């Protein structure tokens, strides 16, 4: 499955419909407390960074699976929502346009 941020492809293809996927990961109370302390004194919130990395991966995996289920060869023009950590959870939404590579005429 090809996941691309570009809106076009160099090879002949046909664009399909919008494809989307959502991933939500829960933080936990210990992580929230640790990151609240870091936020107070300053510094990188490495636990939240790691959680964000995982959640983006989950969203892209789900996007690829949904595109495959719809019969697409890949997704063009992928965009990720601006993730927000709120109420102990992190949500990432991935969207793009499904595409199929055109087979050359025999």
Task: Summarize pLDDT for 63-95 with one digit per residue, the tens.
Answer: 999 999 999 999 999 999 977 777 778 899 999
User: Half-sphere exposure of 92 toward its Cβ, with a 13 Å CA cutoff?
Assistant: 20
pTM over 0.85: no
Q: Helix crossing, 46-69 with 29-41: angle to 10°?
A: 130
Per-residue pLDDT at 35 exceeds 70 = no
98, 19 contact by CB (below 8 A): yes
Mean pLDDT value across residues 7-24: 94
Closest CA to 80 of 58, 106, 99, 104: 58
Q: Which domains does the chain have, with CATH numbers?
A: 2-101 (3.30.110.70)
16, 98 contact by CB (below 8 A): yes
Mean pLDDT value across residues 37-60: 83
């Amino acid at each position: 499955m090809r996941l691309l941020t570009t809106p076009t492809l160099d090879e002949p293809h046909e664009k399909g419909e919008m494809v989307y996927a959502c991933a939500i990961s829960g933080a936990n109370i210990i992580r929230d407390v640790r990151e609240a302390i870091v936020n107070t004194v300053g510094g990188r919130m490495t636990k939240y960074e790691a959680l964000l990395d995982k959640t983006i991966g989950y969203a892209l995996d789900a996007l690829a699976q949904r595109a495959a289920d719809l019969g697409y060869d890949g997704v063009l023009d992928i965009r990720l929502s601006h993730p927000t950590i709120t109420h102990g959870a992190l949500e990432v939404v991935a969207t793009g346009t499904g595409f199929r590579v055109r087979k050359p005429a025999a």
